[in-house]
Amino acid sequence: MSEHKSDISGWLVRRATWHLWVVLGAVLGALVARTARVTSDGGMDNAIVGRAARVWLDGGSPYDDDHFLYLPSAVLAAAPQALLPREVLCVLVPAVVTGCLVGGWVCALRLHEVPLRSRFAVLGLIGLAVGFAPFAHLVLLGNWTATAALALPAALLLAGRGRWVAAGVVIGAAVALKPLLAPLGLLFAFAGRWRGLAVLVAVAVGASAGAALLLPDPAGFFTRTLPFLLRGDDGFVRLYEASPVAVLPRAGVPQAAAQGVAVTAAAAGVGCAYRRWRRGGAGEGGGPLRLAEVAATLMLSAFLVSRPSYDHYLLVVVPLVLAGVPCAGAVARGPWFWLALVPQLPGVTWPYLESVQRRAIKDAVTLCGLAVTLAVHCFRAVGGSPSPLHLPVPSSRAAAPSPPVRE
């Protein structure tokens, strides 16, 4: 951040006034209240998990539902909500999902050493809630992707402080709920943190295996769900998938060619992430930018080939990268990051993409744009990224901030 008082970074890290906090509370409160009014069981996606838990409590197999795509441990985690009245779930689930997204934003800010009471902390969260369509969409669906959106920055925060084993526990627990963060195992491998990786695997496998023994169909995830995911033959789900594997065939590209393109792009992304890690950074954890950029690139590379891959998966990556704006050299300071987000502006109707079934095309543009932007940035990034300059956080009524110092 610049030392000049007129620089935008200096303005952003000063303390937010109470007016901004009121706006933030109103925005998030309105989002939760609207979701509570228009949904049942806390949202369509949460209803799938809740229904699976009810089936299990009644003695059936949750994998009888093809749309239940979670590991067995998610069934046990969802069991308590199966006992709650739907009137309670309608309010509780969107509140918890919103809380996870807020918690993930807080962890991302702390990772990048941005003051939590700063203007940027408040305005960034307002911008995500109002200007990034997947945010409201995730709350509306009640999808458990929210747990990954919280776990990833929390784990990186621990890793940045040298606590890789604790980070492995966090990622392993998140994978046990939803295997979205499984690609983060590569980050532990890049760093040579084998104990942390072993803990990650042990937590995820142990929780899933233990829960599977309590199900009437212990191998249901492997005999039913995994083949379903590999085939990708659900016509309804395919309409909303954002990966090139699903979108390109809709444009006339042969399925085999689409898979080849996606796999090649994903492999290139992993290679760029590894190059970024090898180039190093400051601090025991490699520096916040290094951790965030490598993790985000790995996740985006996985989304290019995963089935399914939805728009709300972007919330695992975008807040983490956005929180680095006050840091010099951050990828979010470049124009390509923001251009990739343009298709996700709420309320904008794009020609020929008006129907809900074609929304996945916009999502694919954003996914591919972010993946290319992060990969190129990782490929070009230089090592030894400097720590961000931190301005004091005076009251917004102060005449001028004191000169910044390096921590």
Instruction: Return the higher-pLDDT residue of 401 and 359.
Output: 359
Q: Which two tokens stand for residue 174?
A: 């998140």
Per-residue confidence band for 333, with pLDDT thresholds at 50, 70 and 90: very high
Q: What is the mean pLDDT of residues 110-118?
A: 94
DSSP 36-89: HHH-STTSHHHHHHHHHHHHHHTT--GGGSTT--S-HHHHHHHHHHHTS-HHHH
Write down the pLDDT at residue 382: 57
| Longest CA pairwise span in the chain (Å) | 68
Measure Cα distances from 100 to 147, 348, 389, 390 in Å. 6, 27, 28, 27
Do the beta carbons of residue 203 and residue 176 sit within 8 Å?
A: yes
Per-residue confidence band for 40, with pLDDT thresholds at 50, 70 and 90: confident
Closest-CA residue to 276 (of 260, 243, 300)? 300
Taking the CB of residue 102, how many other CB atoms lie within 10 A of it?
Answer: 18
Give the total residue count for the chain: 407
Model pLDDT for residues 211-258, shown as the tens digit of each residue: 999 999 888 888 888 877 776 556 667 778 889 988 998 888 998 999
Q: What is the mean pLDDT of residues 384-402?
A: 42
Q: What is the mean pLDDT of residues 111-133?
A: 95
Q: What is the mean pLDDT of residues 62-78?
A: 90
Whether the per-residue pLDDT at 397 is higher than 50: the answer is no
Do the beta carbons of residue 133 and residue 356 sit within 8 Å?
A: no
Do the beta carbons of residue 388 and residue 326 sit within 8 Å?
A: yes
Do the beta carbons of residue 180 and residue 45 sit within 8 Å?
A: no
Q: What is the mean pLDDT of residues 325-344?
A: 93
Model pLDDT for residues 142-195, shown as the tens digit of each residue: 999 999 999 999 999 999 999 999 999 999 999 999 999 999 999 999 999 999
